[in-house]
């Protein structure tokens, strides 16, 4: 991994400590803030995912020398007895003694009353990768040999599938081979047979890596990463079969992954970098990492700042709500570790977001201007 950060002006030492001087309102509700591991047999990691099984939480991510390196595999850790187990590699891109591909973007999904599924991507690059899947019958302890999805299917590209009232599993997906294009894949039998939608009309906008929210009346909303300086959205009123053209939301996007979930109380929770890229640019630094809530998916309220160090690379969150009502977020910490945060959504203190500015003047003033050149996605 090669990263180059250029800071304009002098950065005081206290900026380097995430949370230092953080307003209380934007940390309220955090119960646990921990690393899943502190040492690993590889230097770089990314793209964490999390699921709840009958035996506890399971997290996965990809790790290796650096993104795109053939030695990058999928690693899994189990949360048991109050702590995370030593991670182990459960899938990789090994083909033969002379050919091994990198793996990418694992996505965990616990089938209700059934197996734990692990989707991931395999191939030289995001524009040429293909979908893979493996399953565990013992809640993440052991895994069956992985196998490819049917040709032309990727599975959930970054964020978790959602189970529709129809019984279909809706997988938010996207492609990058001929421009960024968004689509959705469905399976009614948890991976045995598949179908997919047409690409969502972009109208000149580029979107990938959607996450799906539930609204009254059966409406679905997908929030997406973009190269348009804003999180994009699309809506479906027919159970995910067709989707409206992409439009910009009121929230910024720095060309980095987001994730969202509809909570049991009906509110929608989004984890993302609340960063507006520099004027005229599509990409911004991957810091700070924020949590916002909404009742309708349109008007958003600032809730948490999970990280605010200008060192950057707090990214690619994955979020679930466990059976006890708590919210779990895992994300990349500087491409070096995976972070796990537990949130009590009942204790969040909210401030309305106006325009695209985070409603914390002190934090906005403390964050220096950063221009990041990152060869990694």
Residue 184's pLDDT is 98
* Coil/strand/helix, residue 226: strand
Token pair listed for 313: 């690379």
> Which token pair is 350?
């909210």
What are 341's strand-pairing partners? 33, 329
Q: Minimal CA–CA distance to 321: which of 375, 259, 276?
A: 259
| C-beta of residue 174 within 8 angstroms of C-beta of residue 157 | yes
Residue 11: the pLDDT is 34
| Confidence check: pLDDT of 167 > 80 | yes
Is the pLDDT score of 12 beyond 70?
A: no
> At 305, is the pLDDT very low, low, confident or very high (cuts 50, 70, 90)?
very high
Mean pLDDT across the chain = 91
Digit-coded pLDDT (tens) for 200-237: 999 999 999 999 999 999 999 999 999 999 999 999 99
Question: Is the predicted pLDDT of residue 340 greater than 80, yes or no?
Answer: yes
Residue 295's Cα: distance from chain center in Å? Answer: 21
Confidence of residue 366 (pLDDT cuts 50, 70, 90): low
pLDDT reported for residue 365: 65
Q: Point out which residues pair with 171 in neighbouring strands.
A: 185
* Ramachandran sector of residue 325 (left: φ over 0; alpha: ψ -120 to 50; beta: rest): left
Cα(132)–Cα(123) distance, rounded to whole angstroms? 10
Radius of gyration of the CA atoms of the chain, in A: 19
Residue whose structure tokens are 């020398």: 65
Q: Is 86 exposed, middle or buried (0-12, 13-18, 19+ CB in 10 A)?
A: exposed
CA atoms within 13 A on the CB side of 290: 31
Name the residue ranges covered by the structural domains of the chain: 1-41+254-377
Unique residue bearing structure tokens 């996505």: 107
HSE-up of residue 329 (Cα within 13 Å, Cβ side): 33
Cis peptide before 288 (omega within 30 of 0): yes
Residue 193's φ and ψ, nearest 5 degrees, are -130, 155
Buried b (16+ CB within 10 A) or exposed e, 185-215: bbbeebbeebebbebbebeebbbbbbbbbbb
- Token pair recorded at residue 197: 């939608």
pLDDT score recorded for residue 361: 73
pLDDT at 115 over 50: yes
Q: How many CA atoms lie within 13 A of 193 on its CB side?
A: 3
pLDDT in tens, 218-227: 999 999 999 9
- Tracing tokens 């991931």 back to the chain, one arrives at 120
Q: Identify the three-state secondary structure at position 24.
A: helix
In this structure, are strands 370-374 and 351-352 parallel, antiparallel, or unpaired? unpaired
Q: What is the spatial distance between Cα 206 and Cα 228, in angstroms, rounded to a whole number?
A: 7
179 by Cβ neighbours in 10 Å (0-12 / 13-18 / 19+) ranks as exposed
Question: CA-CA distance, 17 to 19, in Å (whole number)?
Answer: 6
CA distance 126 to 104: 8
Nearest to 329 by CA among 19, 31, 4: 31
Residue 46 predicted with pLDDT over 80: yes
For 366, the enclosing helix (H) or strand (E) is helix 361-366
Mean pLDDT calculated for residue range 316-343: 98
Bridge partners, 235 (sequence order): 221
Confidence at residue 23, expressed as pLDDT on a 0 to 100 scale: 45
């Amino acid at each position: 991994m090669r990263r180059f950060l250029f800071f304009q002006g002098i950065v005081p030492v206290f900026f380097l400590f995430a949370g230092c001087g953080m307003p209380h309102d934007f940390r309220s509700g955090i119960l646990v803030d921990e690393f899943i591991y502190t040492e690993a047999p590889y230097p770089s990691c990314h793209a964490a995912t999390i699921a709840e099984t009958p035996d506890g939480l399971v997290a996965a991510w990809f790790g290796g020398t650096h993104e795109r390196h053939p030695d990058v595999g999928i690693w899994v850790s189990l949360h048991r007895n109050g702590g995370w187990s030593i991670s182990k590699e459960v899938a990789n891109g090994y083909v033969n003694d002379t050919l091994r591909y990198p793996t990418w973007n694992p996505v965990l999904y616990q089938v209700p009353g059934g197996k734990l599924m692990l989707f991931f991507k395999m191939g030289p690059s995001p524009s040429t990768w293909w979908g893979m899947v493996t399953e565990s019958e013992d809640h993440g302890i052991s895994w069956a040999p992985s196998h490819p999805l049917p040709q032309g299917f990727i599975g959930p590209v970054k964020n978790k599938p959602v189970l529709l009232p129809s019984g279909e599993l809706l997988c938010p997906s996207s492609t990058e081979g001929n421009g960024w294009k968004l689509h959705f894949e469905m399976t009614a039998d948890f991976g045995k047979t598949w179908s997919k939608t047409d690409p969502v009309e972009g109208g000149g906008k580029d979107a990938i890596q959607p996450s799906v929210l539930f609204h009254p009346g059966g409406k679905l909303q997908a929030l997406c990463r973009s190269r348009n300086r804003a999180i994009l959205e699309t809506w479906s009123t027919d159970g995910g079969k067709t989707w409206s053209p992409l439009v910009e939301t009121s929230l910024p996007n720095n060309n980095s992954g987001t994730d969202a979930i509809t909570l049991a109380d009906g509110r929608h929770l989004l984890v993302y970098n609340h960063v507006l890229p520099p004027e005229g640019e599509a990409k911004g630094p991957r810091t700070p990492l924020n949590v916002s809530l909404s009742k309708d998916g349109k008007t958003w309220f600032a809730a948490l700042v999970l990280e605010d160090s200008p060192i950057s690379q707090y990214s690619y969150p994955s979020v679930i709500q466990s059976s006890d009502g708590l919210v779990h977020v895992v994300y990349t910490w500087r491409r070096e570790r995976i972070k796990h945060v537990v949130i009590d959504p009942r204790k969040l203190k909210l401030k309305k977001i106006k325009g695209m500015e985070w409603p914390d003047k002190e934090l906005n003033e403390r964050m220096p201007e950063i221009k990041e050149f990152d060869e990694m996605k």
